[in-house]
Copies of this chain bind each other. A is one copy, B any other.
Amino acid sequence: MAAAAMKHRVVIVGGGFGGLLAARGLNKQPVEVTLIDRRNFHLFQPLLYQVATGGLSPANIAAPLRSILRRQRNTRVLLGEVIGFDLVNRQVQLHDGSAIPFDSLIIAAGSTHHYFGHDEWERFAPGLKTIEDATEIRRRVLSAFEEAERIADPLARARLLTFVVVGGGPTGVEMAGSIRELAAQTLRFDFRAIDPAQAKVILVEGLNRVLSGFHETLSRKALEALRKMGIEVRLDCHVVDVQSDHVLVRPDSGKAPAERIETSTVVWAAGVQANPLGKLIASAVGGVEIDRSGRVVVNPDCSVGNRSDVFVIGDLACYRGRDGRPLPGLAPVAMQQGQYVADVIARQVRGESRRGPFQYWDKGTMATIGRAQAVAESMGLRLSGYLAWLAWLFIHILYLARFENRVLVMFQWFWNYVTRNRTARLITGPGATTCRAGAVAGGSEPPGHS
Contact = CB atoms under 8 A, between A and B. Distances in A.
Contact of A58 (B70, B150, B428): B428
Interface in A86-125: 95-96, 98
A424 B62 CA distance: 8
Given A39-B433, A78-B149, A434-B81, A426 B59 contact: yes
Interface string A408-438: 1001100100000101111111101111010
Given A76-B193, A96-B437, A132 B407 contact: no
A404 B423 contact: yes
A59 B423 contact: yes
A288 to B, nearest CB: 27
B426 A415 contact: no
A412 B407 CA distance: 10
A432 to B, nearest CB: 7
A437 B59 CA distance: 25
B76 A192 contact: yes
Interface string A65-92: 0110011000011111100000000000
A146 interface: yes
Contacts of A187: 66
A11 B71 CA distance: 56
Contacts of A405: 423
A250 to B, nearest CB: 35
B64 A428 contact: no
A45 interface: no
A132 B432 CA distance: 10
A371 interface: no
Contacts of A142: 40
Interface string A174-203: 000000000000010111110000000000
A53 interface: no
Interface string A126-152: 000001100100000011001101100
A190 B80 contact: no
A78 B150 contact: yes
Nearest to A97: B437
Nearest to A65: B190
Given A407-B415, A408-B412, A64 B425 contact: yes
A38 interface: yes
Given A58-B426, A428-B58, A80 B191 contact: no
A337 interface: no
Given A57-B57, A190-B67, A415-B408, A41 B437 contact: no
Contacts of A146: 40, 79
A160 interface: no
Given A39-B427, A70-B190, A404-B423, A435 B63 contact: no
A150 B79 contact: yes
A411 B404 CA distance: 14
A52 to B, nearest CB: 13
A243 interface: no
A38 B428 CA distance: 11
B96 A150 contact: yes
Given A57-B60, A79-B427, A132-B432, 14 more contacts: A38-B433, A39-B427, A39-B433, A40-B146, A41-B427, A57-B424, A70-B190, A76-B149, A79-B143, A96-B435, A96-B437, A404-B421, A408-B423, A411-B411
